[in-house]
Amino acid sequence: MEHHALGRSGLFVSEITYGNWLTHGEGVERDAATACVRAALDAGVTTFDTADVYAQGAAEEVLQHALKGVRRESVEIATKVCLPTGPGRNDRGLSRKHVVESCNASLRRLGVDYVDLYQAHRFDDEVPLAETLIAFDDLVRAGKVLYLGVSEWRADQIAEALRIADELGLRSRFVSNQPQYNMLWRVIEPEVLPLCEDEGIGQIVFQPLAQGVLTGKYLPGRAAPAGSRATADGRAPAFIARVLGDAVLERVQLLKPIAEQAELTMAQLAIAWTLSRPGVASAVIGATRPEQVRENAEASSRRLDAEVLKQIDDVLGDLVDRDPAKTARMMDVKPEWRTGPASS
């Protein structure tokens, strides 16, 4: 397993990050989730990503259980704040109140004294950016957070945050960005990646498999296979339905000969593609079974040469989306709050 410095910071992360969105506490039972985490550790994964909103806190609790007995200093734990975690108006966003309260709650659920990376899950248009940055800086000064990052922010938002942090003389600047990024979805390339490269911000990208579409298991004109994310319980089917379509699935099938020539599975080809991109320090994978973790982790250190990258571009052609305006916004996320305990 390769490890890379996160941007120009001193924090090293494993090239594969294990994430538990739509799995732990929601679509995967606790024992299965623990088995997946243990498989990740066995594969050399040291970086684990979660969020306060995943399964309304249950995902963080399951991760604590799965990492029980693991030396705290041997892993990097990342979580996030911003999206709705309760029914109240202050149970969302990046106000000082919600940032501090959410951080404390995440630490309790994770069973740790600090998190290695604390990320703003979305940009908040309703809170002064200086308020958010000062709250983050205070958490760093208090020793509850070691490094700071963002997720799904536009280039201008990241730039403004860096400017304000410097203007206020804050000790802590963002060192990471967690965007959606894969062969089909490249909206960070025109603006976000160049800015981050200039400012020393590393990328921990999520959805390298495009919700499983790039594994090739979904076939055009056919029902989704049993046991896949598209047929799972919880919210997973709704998310993957956004990227399922025969036009995409037909092109994806054309990637199979490229993967075979590179002696990779389709999943490994997709992950290796993201890890071959400039500025990417790590790719976040999720899993419901340990064998998926092992397969995906084998993509670490596998770099694709220029000819393979060109072949992929030729196959996908006009299906690739590079529109920076499509970076997710907080207002695009429905403020849901589920009453009652989350399943685990």
Q: Show which residues are catalytic.
A: 54
Answer yes or no: are the C-beta atoms of 97 and 138 closer than 8 Å. Answer: no
Q: Which of 38, 338, 49 is nearest to 207 (CA)?
A: 49
CA distance 324 to 190: 7
Residue 25 CB neighbour total at 10 angstroms: 26
* C-alpha to C-alpha distances, 257 to 212, 252, 344, nearest whole angstrom: 18, 10, 39
| C-alpha pair distances (Å), 165 with each of 5, 7, 144, 161, 231 | 22, 17, 19, 6, 45
CB atoms within 10 A of CB 245: 13
Angle, alpha carbons 41-181-153 (nearest 5°): 105
First to last CA, the chain: 30
Instruction: Cite the DSSP H helix spans in the chain.
Output: 30-42, 58-66, 96-110, 129-141, 155-168, 192-199, 236-240, 246-253, 256-261, 266-275, 290-297, 306-316
Contact, 302 vs 264, CB < 8 A?
yes
Measured in whole angstroms, the distance separating CA 181 from the mean position of its chain's CA atoms is: 9
